[in-house]
A = this chain, B = another copy of it.
């Protein structure tokens, strides 16, 4: 096999790493949760080269593990321990091929950093709305492969909703050029949507046509205290009906979550005088002015405070204040990490059922695992919760890790009972693939398996991911 890799090196112009020290960064995820080995790490910088590599892998029965910024949370970009795979890093395939302002589209290669895409859009006086914690290091190829979510889904949808066309290298190394920048095209199957979110198991996304939006003149944030979750959902409902798509953020965090953020970030503080069981960060964007956005927030908040839905609220008076309010919400995950070991869930349920779900899940966990702390936050406007658990204060994480499977089972069984999803925005990778098998119906699983077998009959595209 090593001889063949020499042959592969001659097949394309980009880099090929075969030494352990060169390969090391590509063989583990950024959190060091998964580790693997590889025959080589290929870093092509042209689509033709991607096709050549895949064709070679196809001819030699070598598995391929595609990788973008390596910021995933489910282990989908790490090779297994057999050392038989090629890691295909797309980071050098990173040109912005063009921006069409009047069509509100942008053609980008898979390895473009999300932040570079956001910046290029902004320079063209446009918004590319996808936004998430890893935006400085994740690639759009990874975002597409995992159908990434983030903080702007409420208004703009998931990554799938932001993509009009794809270029893909198929499992046998052919290039499908589906880079159409069309809002309407009913000429056959939605191949684009099938490849998006398939975590590299059907083919390699090499480029995409992205949708652009008007750049808001202002985004203003409010922070509210609420006495219960029913009121949070009711507040979301009235804000949505009043503001429609001007409501660009609606994030939830529990008092315990805010406490952790305040504990671990010296600059963080509760922006309200009140302590309440739940906090909501709401964001309004306006195309014309900050004044409009503030006015809109004032309207919904004064009504909500008046009718008792919201206990207390503050509206940011400056961009800096808006950012510091966002920092409270965005610091949640990191703060929990600083607190120690945690068991994390990325779940969604119908928005209407969130209060019941959280009540039921809390009851179950408190009974089964007394003392464990629930750290609940998430994208309430999307029905997406990071329903996390930290061990009792003073306990190290060993006990928690020992009961992790039992906790997952309790939470995910309940998610299933609430018609929810056990992976709302992070994908399955290797983290959740066995559980997905448990909760998906046999019919759905077989449909997926049939498609996988049809498009990747040799089973070489990111094997072991999605399917256990």
Q: For residue A241, which residue of chain B has the nearest CB?
A: B214
A443 x B188 contact (CB < 8 A): no
Q: For residue A216, which residue of chain B has the nearest CB?
A: B244
A179 to B421, CA, bound (A): 12
A428 to B185, CA, bound (A): 10
B419 x A180 contact (CB < 8 A): yes
User: Shortest CB–CB separation between residue A196 and chain B, in angstroms?
Assistant: 7
Q: For residue A185, which residue of chain B has the nearest CB?
A: B421
B191 x A197 contact (CB < 8 A): no
B105 x A350 contact (CB < 8 A): yes
Partner of A183, one of B175, B237, B353, B384: B384
Most chain B C-beta atoms within 10 Å of own C-beta, residue among A161, A426, A451: A451
Chain B residue numbers with a CB within 8 Å of A182 are: 348-350, 383, 419-421, 424
Chain B residue numbers with a CB within 8 Å of A422 are: 187
Given A193-B190, A213-B244, A348-B184, CB of A178 within 8 Å of CB of B444? yes
A364 to B379, CA, bound (A): 53
Given A186-B423, A194-B194, CB of A175 within 8 Å of CB of B443? yes
A352 to B185, CA, bound (A): 16
Given A190-B160, A436-B188, CB of A102 within 8 Å of CB of B384? no
A191 x B153 contact (CB < 8 A): no
Q: For residue A424, which residue of chain B has the nearest CB?
A: B184
A352 x B436 contact (CB < 8 A): no
Q: For residue A444, which residue of chain B has the nearest CB?
A: B176
B447 x A191 contact (CB < 8 A): yes
Q: For residue A160, which residue of chain B has the nearest CB?
A: B190
Chain B residue numbers with a CB within 8 Å of A191 are: 444, 447-448
User: Shortest CB–CB separation between residue A1 and chain B, in angstroms?
Assistant: 29
A118 close to B (CB within 8 Å): no
A288 to B303, CA, bound (A): 15
A351 close to B (CB within 8 Å): yes
B287 x A243 contact (CB < 8 A): yes
Chain B residue numbers with a CB within 8 Å of A175 are: 443
B194 x A189 contact (CB < 8 A): yes
| Residue interface mask A386-412, B partner, CB < 8 A = 1 | 000000000000000000000000000
Q: For residue A352, which residue of chain B has the nearest CB?
A: B102
Chain B residue numbers with a CB within 8 Å of A183 are: 153-154, 158, 348, 351, 382-384
A184 x B448 contact (CB < 8 A): no
Chain B residue numbers with a CB within 8 Å of A288 are: 242
Q: For residue A154, which residue of chain B has the nearest CB?
A: B183
A384 x B184 contact (CB < 8 A): yes
A425 close to B (CB within 8 Å): yes
A432 close to B (CB within 8 Å): yes
Q: Which 9 A-B pairs have the closest CB atoms?
A: A454-B454, A193-B193, A102-B352, A185-B421, A184-B424, A103-B350, A103-B352, A245-B245, A183-B382
Known pairs A104-B351, A182-B420, A187-B428; list 9 more (Cβ under 8 Å). Answer: A102-B237, A147-B186, A149-B184, A182-B421, A187-B423, A187-B436, A188-B444, A214-B240, A245-B245
Q: List 15 A-B contacts (CB under 8 A).
A: A100-B350, A100-B352, A103-B352, A105-B350, A161-B161, A176-B441, A180-B420, A183-B384, A184-B348, A188-B428, A190-B190, A191-B447, A193-B193, A215-B241, A244-B287
